[in-house]
Amino acid sequence: MATQDIIRRSGTSEATPAAQARVGGVKQVAKLFDATKCNGCKACQVACSEWNDLREEVGSFQGTYQNPASLSPECWTLMKYNEVEADGKLHWQFTHSACMHCADPACLKACSTSGAIVQHANGTVDFDSDKCVGCGYCASACPFDIPKINPVDNKAYKCTLCSDRTAVGLEPSCVKTCTTGALRFGTREDMLFYAEKRVAELKDRGFTNAGIYNPEGVGGTGMVMILRDINDPESYDMPKDPQIKVSTELWQDVLKPLGTAGILATAGVALLHRITVGRNIVEEDQPGYRDEDHEEDSK
Amino acid sequence: MTLNRRQFFKLCAAGAATSAISALGLMSEKAYAAVREFKLLRAKETRNNCPYCSVGCGLLMYSQGSGGKNSEHAIFHIEGDADHPVNRGALCPKGAGLVDYVNSPHRLQYPEYRAPGSNKWQRISWEEAFKRIGRLMKDDRDANLIEKNADGVTVNRWLTTGMMTSSGMANESGIATQKFARSLGLVAIDTIARN
């Protein structure tokens, strides 16, 4: 079961890694979003909230079909309607905005709570809400601005890649519902193979800048995108070169081990002092002497 | 066991130190981060068609219950039927959110009547509803049926009333609807797919 296939967990050091035995055996999965096939129908957004039992409050009109304005604790998949002007024409570029399931997730790195964020052997990055303390480090660390803190229970939420569905062999809810085939699900290998074929096809048809968005800065992503212009991912509201922040790496990889080393060193020095110098024994004739053996008697 | 003050403090300090060590992560814990339980496990699966447009996508509707006579089977999840040739599992946003149509508090559950000029709906029985519809249809048809055109050819057209039908119909119910509507002379027939 999925409870046993965790390969990475937050709040643990490399000295005590999560179970690694299944890393080689379980196929990495990926969701492929082909932006050139998406017609912005929002079925993925609805299917996501339906499956995950989320009902975001109906918001107000913001001058765009995008609603809610951004991802939220009760909206884990959002159809973004980017209006881009190029060659004197308006391009309506849709982004299926949800967790990217990075191979090297910044949220997991930033999380200090043991096991609140885990990575399954198939590459899915999942939050264990019950363990979350709501510090918000994941939300500020994520280069894609995905996790959101719920003010009601102070816990972080995001897309799980429908880990409850994939655990029993089903595709994520958004992928199943997609009418245009803009969303696909399968092994990472298969999705990249298909994406390359599709990009070649797009280039043949004159979309010379078409390309695969699979940023290396986060080790590649579990959601791969095909964009009309790969040189301008910002036009899809995606970062050009997402990275784990230096501050996150400094905090988790340098400062925290240093802190632990400091505590251990203090204990070690105290022990060494006890062995080499020993107790501070007060002589009988000095002030402050207390006779422990006869303390009770003297009262 | 008797403890003097100093021994009691020592015990407290030892206890605090032990728990501090375990908090440093030196004690292992079970790495159980279970995924959410699969919510369709042993749910009753019922096939149906989406009636909301003429595409007629296949649905799988999931309801709770073992089928025992004492439980009500409320639908809690609907997704596309992958074995249906029309949609092969996919659903549009309207279809993907069907469960909220089914369970909507605004859903019409019985016939209602709003009198001309009134702003209030009043509940009526099915019997009253059918009687009223039949009466009005007959009156209108009797008054406005065009039996013959200008050339004296029998046409039997009833142009003052139209009919809105379901869009997600199979051939069998489609032909039954046609037979009913055309035999009355109705010309204007449309479906809710145009909504």
**Which residues are paired to A127 by β-bridges?**
A117
Tell me the DSSP string of chain A. Answer: -GGG-EEEETT--TTSPPP-TTTTTSPPEEEEEETTT-----HHHHHHHHHTT--PPP----SSS--SSS-BTTBS-EEEEEEEEETTEEEEEEEEES---BSS-HHHHH--STTTEEEETTS-EEE-TTT-----HHHHH-TT---EEETTTTEEE----SHHHHTTT---HHHHH-SSS-EEEEEHHHHHHHHHHHHHHHHHTT-TT-EEE--GGGT-BSEEEEES-TT-GGGGT--SS----HHHHIIIIIIHHHHHHHHHHHHHHHHHHHHHT---PPPTTSTT---STTHHHH-
Residue B28 located in a structural domain: no
Note the pLDDT tens digit of each residue in B108-135: 889 999 999 999 999 999 999 999 999 9
Choose from B35, B81, B91, B104 for mutation: most chain A CBs within 10 A.
B35
Q: Residues B65, B120: one domain?
A: no
Q: Residues B149, B187: one domain?
A: yes
Indicate yes or no: CB of B93 within 8 angstroms of CB of A128. no
Choose from A10, A46, A81, A297 for mutation: most chain B CBs within 10 A.
A46
Q: Exposed, middle or buried by CB within 10 Å (0-12, 13-18, 19+), for B100?
A: middle
Q: Residues B146, B166: one domain?
A: yes
Indicate yes or no: CB of B89 within 8 angstroms of CB of A47. no
Q: Residues B80, B131: one domain?
A: no
* A128 → closest Cβ in B33, B89, B99: B33
Reduced to 3 states (helix: H, G, I; strand: E, B; else coil), residue B88 is coil
Residue B13 located in a structural domain: no
Q: Residues B66, B96: one domain?
A: yes
Residue B78 located in a structural domain: yes
Indicate yes or no: CB of B77 within 8 angstroms of CB of A45. no
CATH (domain of B75): 2.20.25.90
CB A194 within 8 A of CB A58: no
- The reported pLDDT for the residue numbered A295 is 59
What are the chain A neighbours of B96 within 8 Å (beta carbons)? 43, 46-47, 50, 177
Print the domain residue range for B168: 112-194
What are the chain A neighbours of B39 within 8 Å (beta carbons)? 164
Q: What is the model's pTM?
A: 0.81
- Residue ending a domain, choose from B71, B102, B133: B102
Stretches where chain A sits below pLDDT 50 are: 1-2, 298-299
The C-alpha torsion from A161 through A162 and A167 to A169, rounded to 10°, is: -90
What are the chain A neighbours of B91 within 8 Å (beta carbons)? 43, 47, 177, 179
Query: Is the CB of A168 inside 8 Å of chain B's CB atoms?
Result: yes
Task: Find how far residue A144's CA is from the centre of its chain.
Answer: 9
- The reported pLDDT for the residue numbered A24 is 79
Number of neighbours of residue A171 by Cβ within 10 angstroms: 21
* Chain B residue with Cα closest to A39: B92
Residue B74 located in a structural domain: yes
Residue B172 located in a structural domain: yes
Give the list of residues 6+ apart from residue A114 with CB closer than 8 angstroms, or none.
Answer: A9, A10, A11, A12, A131, B25, B29
Q: Residues B135, B82: one domain?
A: no
Stretches where chain B sits below pLDDT 70 are: 22-33, 194-195
Q: Residues B49, B118: one domain?
A: no
| B42/chain A closest Cα distance in angstroms | 13
- Residue ending a domain, choose from B66, B83, B102: B102
Q: Residues B150, B189: one domain?
A: yes
Residue B98 located in a structural domain: yes
- Residue ending a domain, choose from B55, B76, B102: B102
Q: Residues B121, B85: one domain?
A: no
Residue B8 located in a structural domain: no
Q: Residues B148, B128: one domain?
A: yes
Give the list of residues 6+ apart from residue B186 with CB closer than 8 angstroms, or none.
Answer: B158, B161, B162, B163
Whether the link from the prior residue into B116 is cis, omega within 30° of 0, is no
Mark B137-172 as b/e (b = at least 16 C-beta within 10 Å).
eeeeeeeeeeeeeeeeeeeeebeebebebbbbbeee
What are the chain B neighbours of A177 within 8 Å (beta carbons)? 79-80, 89-91, 95-96
- The reported pLDDT for the residue numbered B97 is 96
Indicate yes or no: CB of A46 within 8 angstroms of CB of B93. yes
**Portion 27-66 of A in contact with B at CB < 8 A:** 41-43, 45-47, 49-51
Domains of chain A: which residue ranges? 2-243, 245-278
Residue B61 located in a structural domain: yes
Structural domains in chain B (count): 2
Query: Is the CB of A131 inside 8 Å of chain B's CB atoms?
Result: yes
- The reported pLDDT for the residue numbered A1 is 38
CA distance linking residue A113 with residue B8, whole number of Å: 33
End-to-end CA distance of chain B: 84
The CATH topology of domain A2-243 is: Alpha-Beta Plaits (3.30.70)
Choose from B26, B36, B42 for mutation: most chain A CBs within 10 A.
B36
Q: Residues B62, B118: one domain?
A: no
Indicate yes or no: CB of A43 within 8 angstroms of CB of B79. no
Q: Residues B92, B120: one domain?
A: no
Pairing of strands A78-86, B75-80: unpaired
